[in-house]
Chain A
Amino acid sequence: MSRIALRGSGLVKRYGEVVAVDGLDLEVFAGECFGLLGPNGAGKTTTVEILEGLTRPDGGTVEVLGRTWAQDAAGLRERIGIQLQETQLAEKLTVLETITLFRSFYRKGLDPVEVMRIVQLEDKEKAWVRKLSGGQKQRLSLAAALVGDPEILFLDEPTTGLDPQARRQVWDVIADVRARGGTVLLTTHYMEEAERLCDRIAIVDRGKVIDLDTPAALIKRLGAEHVIEIETESEVDLERLRGLDQVHDLRRDGTTVSLTVLEVHRAIPQILAQLDAQAVALTRLTTHHATLEDVFVAMTGRHLREN
């Protein structure tokens, strides 16, 4: 059994009438990357800030590296690195000045120039923070979290709002931290990010963990590994589609019907034949491998990102 780096038990946090975190439990093993996946407002940020010792929970206990925040806050701060979701660093300092400032807070840590290399900002050394792109700012924020050489790295939505290329650069940095044996806890509402980076994922909805496993196991739990989405010109009889032996489950989502199926090459002929029998014309058909998004939708009936 791996050593436990981080444990939260029965965490509760209320803001007035709103229950942001509602009896949440989780354990993160040393050396793993653990993801909290859920839609906006699911309580991910509140949970992370409780674990980070920045928000006091109304109920439950937190242990970080075997200690509580009440026991040894100063000692724990030396051993963890934090990236907050909404921090804007000082605009008129340069990249290196910012990293050097954060380095000075830690008794031991990495060389600021080395950290600048890890986050791929060497060529921005003398650039003011104000002049950086969103992705560069996010990597600088990662650098500030890394410069104390933390045993646990907390990342709250590290790639929200970034374009795909900037997102991949952030992923590279996180992969680099993982390769050096660091423990990472990250929150995200991008399933691709969770699947790609995380060893285990807790799916969070309405302040609770509703499922927790490896990304592959979570997807397997759908019972079928492929998703076919169809749109039709007129109303289709869902019950007759459900009766097909290749169709594991189906759901209507606006004008789209999505069906989880076992084998695409067998399912499609059955579906087309059934639509023919109902005299319904098909306007669109797409297929993809089941993702965490499909897992989330299957469990909650809602999407991770609501428009």
Chain B
Amino acid sequence: MARHPLVEITRVKFLEFLREPEAIFWVLVFPVLLSLALGIAFRSKPPEALAIAVQEGPGASAARDALATDRALAPRTLPEASCREALRAGRVALVVVPGDPVTYWFDPTRDESRVARLAADAALQGAAGRADAVAASDRLMTEKGSRYIDFLVPGLLGMNLMGTGMWGVGFSIVTARSRGLLKRLIATPMKKRHYLVGQMLGRMVFLVPEVGLLVAFAALVFDVPVRGSLAALVAVSSLGGLAFTGIGLLVAARPRTIEGVSGLMNFVMLPMWIFSGVFFSPARFPDALQPWIHALPLTALNDALRAVMLDGASLARVAPELAIVAGWGAAALVAALLLFRWR
């Protein structure tokens, strides 16, 4: 008994993908390597102590000991000529000249110099016996979920869903067209919509390992949280994956050559790489651009992924973003069916 054509088209699409080692690399391995590289490059560093100098002279060693009680300061003693040189080169933020009065020597346009001046003065005054007028304590903001890697991973996930979704269908369709295979297929009773939907479904089978691998890697290596439900994450990823395969079908609807479709793919994806908040927040762009940026499917997908992963949002809360993503996907699929070149 013959299987339904949609099942069969999906199956061969999946098999062809499986037999393409390069595709496996770009879809599964590359995103993990990218997140590893960026995670290491932008890892959170402990705050560094500010280098300051104490000018040699009477009282220098006492002053240095007093300054060293503040962990944020790294004082060392230097002769006057070296102090001037170190300050000018930026190797120290501040020079403390002991005496009466104590002189703080620094460049007031440098933020760290002004911070060093305040810290050094507080340390010296405290050592001289000044008491704090009010009690104070610190509360430090270092919780996970607010680091750069936490921002980055959902963005990479979205970017990956876009790239693999579009390439995954675009490349194989244009190859089939250039080889005359599409023309051969429409010479059978095959329904055109079965072919296009089968392309989308065949690629969706890979979504589970693709999303799973990146999220698991980020959780294990960088401790990136998934605060929302796993079901919500799968649902958002699936919708995003489907929408971008739909857009991929539209981009591949006309070109006859791989060169042609490559150019078109990059033309469509480049603005989203820049504007849609993969590597940095789109809030950095001018207000006038914001409505346009938020209408882009990748912006909506990234917002939804971040809300689910980092804020623990439910599907209902990200419904507006999901509606934008689904709208793009559906419109692209319909347009692809109408515009598709079969020969």
Q: Judge whether B8 is part of the interface by a CB distance below 8 angstroms.
A: yes
CB contacts (< 8 Å) of A100 on chain B: these are 2-3, 8
Contact status B181-A104, CB under 8 Å: no
Determine whether the beta carbon of B181 is less than 8 Å from that of A90: yes
Instruction: List the A residue with the shortest CB-CB distance to B178.
Output: A88
Classify the interface of chain A: helix, strand, loop or mixed: loop
**Inter-chain contact B189/A105, CB cutoff 8 Å:** yes
Q: Whose C-beta in chain B lies nearest to the C-beta of A53?
A: B187
Partner pick for B181 among A52, A82, A87, A107, CB 8 A cutoff: A87
Return the chain A residue nearest B185 by Cβ.
Answer: A105
Given A77-B189, A104-B5, A148-B188: A89 in contact with B181 (beta carbons within 8 A)? yes
Is A171 in the interface zone, CB < 8 Å from B? no
Does A101 contact B180, Cβ atoms closer than 8 Å?
no
Minimal Cβ-Cβ distance residue in B for A80: B187
Complex interface residues of chain B between 170 and 218 (CB less than 8 A to chain A)? 176, 179-181, 183-190
* A92 and B20 contact, CB distance less than 8 A: yes
The interface residues of chain A lying within 8 Å CB-to-CB of B45 are none
Q: Which residue among B4, B20, B190 has the maximum number of chain A CB atoms within 10 Å of its CB?
A: B190
Bound-state Cα–Cα, A105 to B343, Å: 19
Which residues of chain A come closer than 8 Å to B187, judged between CB atoms?
52, 54, 77, 82, 84
List B residues 11-36 near A (Cβ within 8 Å): 12, 15-16, 19-20
A148 / chain B contacts, CB cutoff of 8 Å: 188-189
B interface footprint on A285-300 (CB within 8 Å = 1, 0 otherwise)? 0000000000000000
By a CB distance below 8 angstroms, the chain A residues around B3 are 100, 104
A residues in contact with B8, CB < 8 Å? 100-101, 104
A90-B183 contact in complex given A97-B12, A106-B188, C-beta closer than 8 Å: no
Do B5 and A105 touch (CB < 8 A)?
yes
When C-beta atoms are compared, the residue in chain A nearest to B13 turns out to be A90
* Pick from B2, B181, B185: contact of A109, CB under 8 Å: B2
Inter-chain CA distance A286–B190, complex, in Å, is 53
Cβ of A12 within 8 Å of any chain B Cβ, yes or no, is no
Cβ of A4 within 8 Å of any chain B Cβ, yes or no, is no
Bitwise interface map of A from 110 to 139 toward B, beta carbon under 8 Å scored 1, else 0: 000000000000000000100000000000
Write the nearest CB–CB distance from B158 to chain A, whole angstroms.
29
In A63-84, which residues have CB < 8 Å from any B CB? 74, 77-78, 82, 84
Chain B residue nearest in CB terms to A107:
B189
Q: Which A residue's beta carbon lies closest to that of B20?
A: A92
Residue of B nearest to A104 (CB): B8
Residues of A within 8 A of B7 (CB): 104
Is residue A175 contacting chain B, with contact meaning CB distance below 8 A? no
* A280: interface (CB < 8 Å): no
Residues of A with C-beta under 8 A to B176: 90
- A90 engages B12 (CB within 8 Å): yes
Q: How far is the CB of A181 from chain B (nearest CB, A)?
A: 22
How far apart are A128's CB and chain B's nearest CB, in angstroms? Answer: 8
**Would A102 and B20 be within 8 Å (CB), given that A88-B181, A90-B176 are in contact?**
no
Selected contact of A105 from candidates B12, B15, B183, B190, CB within 8 Å: B190
Q: Most chain-B CB neighbours within 10 Å: which of A77, A78, A105, A107?
A: A105
Please report the C-alpha to C-alpha distance between residue A88 and residue B181 in the assembled complex, in whole angstroms: 6
Do A74 and B2 touch (CB < 8 A)?
no
Q: Which of A54, A97, A101: most chain B CB closer than 10 A?
A: A101
Contact A106 B179 (CB under 8 A): no
How far is it, in angstroms, between the C-alpha of A84 and the C-alpha of B179 when the chains are bound? 11
Which A residues lie within 8 Å of B2 (CB)?
A: 100, 103-104, 106, 109
Interface: B9 (CB within 8 A): yes
B binding-site residues for A, Cβ under 8 Å: 2-5, 7-9, 12, 15-16, 19-20, 176, 179-181, 183-190, 343
Listed from nearest, the 9 A-B pairs whose CB atoms lie closest are: A104-B8, A88-B179, A77-B189, A105-B190, A87-B184, A92-B19, A105-B188, A82-B187, A104-B5
- Known contacts A87-B179, A90-B12, A103-B2; 10 additional CB pairs below 8 A are A54-B343, A77-B189, A82-B187, A84-B183, A92-B15, A92-B16, A104-B7, A106-B189, A107-B189, A148-B188
The contact sample of 16 A-B pairs, CB cut-off 8 A, is: A78-B189, A84-B187, A87-B183, A87-B184, A89-B181, A90-B12, A90-B16, A90-B181, A92-B19, A92-B20, A93-B12, A93-B15, A100-B8, A104-B8, A105-B185, A106-B2
